[in-house]
């Protein structure tokens, strides 16, 4: 059973460019969350997708957008890249069972984005 | 708003010594609490979780944590450190399970 997979592993972009990161959830999972982990810091929640809709969003600008496909995989898009966007981007998947219940999130290995 | 504070960005112990990593949380509702471990250039691995069942939670690799509501704490312990425990450890809190708020992390060094 494959776990959460992310591509690419590493990416180098220049300021002002746009980037797309991809995530395939663990088999049987229908919910995908994205996190940004800057160097030396803990992960910060970007947003969560369920049923192809953004369900909740953290404190990130509109330059960060996402998409979820019918097969539950997801993309994270970042426009107009800034130097401060350099980070490890983590994807986590889970099974939605309704609010108020616990659903464990399983993390992928991440995509390391470097903005020059 | 939910948040966690990890006391000590670096902790160093000798092999075989007690490991204690501190985490205090803030939450307006009964929270879910987690400890994750991250090895270099890898993602996050769940060590253990508190989901309102037993207050003493046992996890993988001999780690455990105790939920203390009166102290708003969820400290991580291991009786005897192993060299392979050297890693970054993150405490996290979630109120609605849609998003998790992570602490800044504690880097554990184990000396031979």
Q: What is the mean pLDDT of residues B85-98?
A: 88
pLDDT digits (tens, 9 = 90+) for B5-62: 999 999 999 999 999 999 999 987 778 899 999 998 788 999 999 987 788 999 999 9
Q: Could you give the 3-state DSSP secondary structure of residue B62? A: helix
pLDDT digits (tens, 9 = 90+) for A47-90: 999 999 998 899 999 999 999 999 999 999 999 999 999 999 99
pLDDT digits (tens, 9 = 90+) for A11-32: 999 999 999 999 999 999 999 9
Q: What average pLDDT does chain A have? A: 93
For testing contact with chain B, the best of A91, A95, A105 (most B CBs within 10 A):
A105
pLDDT band at A7, cuts 50/70/90? very high
Q: C-alpha distances in angstroms, A71 versus A31, A96, B31?
A: 11, 15, 31
Amino acid A103: pLDDT: 75
Interchain CB distance below 8 Å, A58 and B99? yes
From the list B43, B52, B39, the residue with the least C-alpha distance to B97 is B52
Q: Could you give the 3-state DSSP secondary structure of residue B69? A: coil
Amino acid B54: pLDDT: 83
Q: Is the pLDDT of residue B86 over 80?
A: yes
Amino acid B97: pLDDT: 64
Q: How far is A80 from chain B (nearest CA, A)?
A: 25
Residues of A in contact with B101 (CB under 8 A): 45
Q: Quick one: CA torsion of A10, A13, A16, A21, rounded to 10 degrees? A: -30
């Amino acid at each position: 059973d494959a776990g959460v997979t992310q591509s690419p592993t590493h990416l180098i972009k220049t300021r002002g460019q746009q980037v797309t990161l991809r995530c395939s959830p663990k088999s049987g999972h229908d919910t995908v969350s994205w996190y940004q982990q800057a160097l030396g810091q803990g992960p910060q929640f970007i947003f969560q997708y369920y049923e192809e809709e953004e369900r909740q969003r953290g404190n990130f600008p509109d330059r960060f957008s996402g998409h979820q496909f019918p097969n539950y995989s997801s993309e994270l898009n970042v426009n107009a890249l800034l130097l401060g966007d350099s980070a490890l981007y983590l994807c986590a998947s889970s099974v939605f069972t309704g609010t108020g219940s616990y659903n464990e999130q399983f993390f992928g290995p991440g995509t390391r984005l470097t903005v020059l | 708003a939910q948040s966690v504070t990890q006391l000590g960005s670096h902790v160093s112990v000798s092999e075989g010594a007690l490991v204690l990593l501190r985490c205090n949380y803030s939450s307006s509702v009964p929270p879910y609490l987690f400890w994750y471990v991250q090895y270099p250039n890898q993602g996050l691995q769940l060590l253990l979780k508190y989901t309102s069942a037993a207050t003493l939670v046992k996890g993988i690799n001999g780690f455990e944590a105790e939920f203390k509501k009166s102290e708003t704490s969820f400290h991580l312990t291991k009786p005897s450190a192993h060299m392979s425990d050297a890693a970054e450890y993150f405490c996290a809190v979630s109120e609605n399970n849609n998003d998790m708020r992570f602490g800044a992390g504690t880097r554990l060094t184990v000396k031979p």
